């Protein structure tokens, strides 16, 4: 094979990135561009679909230009994306009929309440592995069809298409040539039966989504389509796609049952590989498709924390508390402990294992002696404590002694956070050399499909350890933190008494 590189397109919640990898899994070039966050009402979060694609196309070209790489030198493109974010667009013209409704958006919480009151939550859980929550795509599609004039009639007539962000990117990069998704993204819609691997007619009827809108589901590692030559001057294969958290697990080489990773991005997402069968959760975790390769379909247990790195972003952008995210570690280290301060960042509700869409963020334990350092430390601890809540539920569900946590994402570079995570969970935390494992996972899935890497074992060998953090906190201090954290979480719950 003459092609020497894989291009990973990493379309995230706050920015679009493109990362160029070589055969050794090294990041050769990165290009990134942030895009607009739209908040029309409290609890509502939207993106412009056109801006999502425009920024992604821009950084893809920019990455290749900066690296001096031509399109014909690319073996394949892999795509990974913010999941659950919902786009509906015109089949003929390609124009979105509404802004993308982001995974964080809570506008359909009342719809979920109604369906739950009608006794529908259990059938949804049995078929999809998901809890009934506004987090997922299905109710977002329904909202667009019911609130955009004429949208439902047009959808039923086959004129509108739905996709998560991977589908939107594939549609546009192929110049409307392919309407596809993979099982990892499909399994996040409330519409996909994870046992049969198919869109489910009963669920489609329940949520009022016409089948004609849906993309074809193809394996996560497969020759899906080709990027139109307009973009890179060559028809490069799109050969890998996976939701960002599943891609991160693949990139973190969590390829065997029992391996677990946490990604510290806008949110925090723990995935435990459960092998070839979905494992039912008794502790409000999600059973989800991890990926599908020629070897078959793999599953995972997942716990989602809605606000991880978003906590730091809020302190920086919302409050002006810091000027740059890099200030957080030093500020938190300026005090010996949190001074009794706890932050519960339930800005858009609480995810796993609480699933309280009416919770809201609180900052408690303030005294006249509270300093900026205490609040910074409380913010770092909040990320680790939320992760601990999920990990405890995961341990109970899996019946396993989870003794190792692999980590990735931007906030994993914060040494204080990683040490705090090891201390609170009581397990070793391993950070890889390449912390952009989401993009690496997409690259690996694409590379395997075109023979760039021979097999999954070779792809897993690309993972290299940067640093391991061992637990050091005395048990008495750990118990104290957990006790007060649980009290703080309880005070944040059910804060909204009626739907906003």
181 among annotated binding-site residues:
no
Q: Is 266 annotated as a binding residue?
A: yes
Q: Is 309 annotated as a binding residue?
A: yes
95-128 confidence digits (pLDDT tens) = 999 999 999 898 999 999 999 999 999 999 999 9
**17 annotated ligand binder:** yes
| Structural domains in the chain, sorted by start | 5-245 (3.30.420.40)
**Residue 146 counted as an annotated binding residue:** no
Cβ atoms 226, 251 nearer than 8 A: no
Smallest CA-to-CA distance from 272 within 298, 307, 295 is with 298
Q: Report whether 245 belongs to an annotated binding site.
A: yes
Known binding residue 84? Answer is yes
Find out whether 20 and 69 touch, Cβ atoms under 8 Å.
Answer: yes
Q: Is 135 annotated as a binding residue?
A: yes
Q: Which pLDDT value is given to residue 396?
A: 86
* pTM score of the predicted model: 0.86
- Which residue positions in the chain have pLDDT lower than 70? 1, 498-500
Q: At what angle do helices 109-117 and 121-128 cross, to 10 degrees?
A: 100
- pLDDT at residue 500 in the model: 43
Those residues with Cβ within 8 angstroms of residue 30's Cβ, 6 or more apart along the chain or in another chain: 17, 18, 19, 20, 63, 436
Q: Is 497 helix (H, G, I), strand (E, B) or coil?
A: coil
What residues have CB less than 8 Å from 299, skipping those under 6 apart?
A: 194, 273, 274, 275, 276, 277, 278, 279, 287, 288, 289, 290
Q: Are strands 237-243 and 74-81 parallel, antiparallel or unpaired?
A: parallel
Exposure letters 365-374 (e unless 16+ CB within 10 A, then b): beeeebeebb
What integer pLDDT is reported at residue 498 of this predicted model? 62
Q: Give the span between the Cα atoms of 376 and 425, in whole angstroms.
A: 20
Cis peptide bond prior to 129, omega within 30° of 0 = no
Q: How many CB atoms lie within 10 A of CB 141?
A: 29
369 assigned to a ligand binding site: no
Query: What SS3 class is residue 370?
Result: coil
Closest CA to 407 of 371, 432, 384, 376: 432
**Is residue 414 annotated as involved in ligand binding?**
yes
């Amino acid at each position: 094979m003459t092609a020497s590189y894989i291009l990973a397109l990493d379309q995230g919640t706050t920015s679009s990135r493109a990362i160029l990898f070589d055969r050794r899994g090294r990041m050769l070039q990165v290009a990134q561009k942030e895009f607009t966050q739209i908040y029309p009402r409290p609890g509502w979060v939207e993106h412009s679909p056109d801006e999502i694609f425009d920024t992604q196309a821009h950084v893809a070209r920019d990455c290749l230009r900066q690296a001096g790489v031509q399109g014909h030198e690319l073996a394949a493109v892999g795509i990974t994306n913010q999941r659950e974010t919902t786009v509906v667009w015109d089949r003929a013209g390609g124009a979105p009929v509404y802004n993308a409704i982001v995974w964080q958006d809570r506008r359909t919480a009342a719809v979920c309440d109604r369906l739950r009151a009608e006794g529908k939550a259990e059938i949804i859980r049995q078929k999809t592995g998901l809890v009934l929550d506004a987090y997922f795509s299905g109710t977002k599609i329904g909202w667009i069809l019911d609130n955009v004039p004429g949208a439902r009639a047009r959808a039923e007539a086959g004129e509108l298409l739905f996709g998560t962000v991977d589908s939107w990117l594939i549609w546009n990069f192929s110049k409307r040539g392919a309407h596809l998704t993979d099982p990892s993204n499909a399994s996040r819609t409330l519409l996909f039966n994870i046992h049969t691997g198919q869109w489910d007619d009963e669920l489609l009827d329940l949520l009022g989504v016409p089948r004609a809108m849906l993309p074809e589901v193809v394996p996560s590692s497969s020759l899906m389509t080709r990027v139109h030559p307009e973009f890179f001057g060559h028809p490069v294969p799109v050969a890998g796609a996976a939701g960002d958290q599943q891609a991160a697990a693949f990139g973190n080489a969590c390829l065997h049952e029992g391996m677990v990773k946490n990604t510290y991005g806008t949110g925090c997402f723990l995935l435990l590989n459960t092998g070839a069968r979905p494992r039912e959760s008794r502790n409000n975790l999600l059973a989800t498709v991890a990926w599908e390769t020629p070897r078959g379909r793999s599953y995972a247990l997942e716990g989602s924390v809605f606000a991880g790195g978003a906590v730091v972003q809020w302190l920086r952008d919302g409050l002006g508390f810091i000027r740059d995210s890099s200030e957080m570690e030093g500020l938190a280290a300026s005090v010996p402990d949190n001074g009794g301060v706890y932050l519960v960042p339930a800005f858009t509700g609480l995810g796993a294992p609480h699933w309280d869409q009416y919770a809201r963020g609180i900052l408690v334990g303030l005294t006249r002696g509270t300093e900026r350092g205490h609040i910074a430390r409380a913010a770092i601890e909040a990320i680790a404590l939320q992760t601990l809540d999920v990990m405890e539920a995961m341990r109970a569900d899996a019946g396993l002694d989870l003794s190792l946590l692999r980590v990735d994402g931007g906030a994993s570079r914060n040494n204080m956070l990683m040490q705090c995570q090891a201390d609170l969970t009581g397990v070793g935390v391993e950070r890889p050399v390449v912390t952009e494992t989401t993009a690496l996972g997409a690259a690996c899935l694409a590379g395997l499909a075109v023979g760039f890497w021979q097999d999954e074992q070779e792809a897993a060998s690309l993972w290299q350890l940067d640093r391991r953090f061992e637990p050091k906190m005395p048990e008495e201090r750990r118990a104290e933190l957990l006790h007060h954290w649980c009290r703080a979480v309880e005070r944040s719950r059910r804060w909204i008494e009626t739907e906003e």
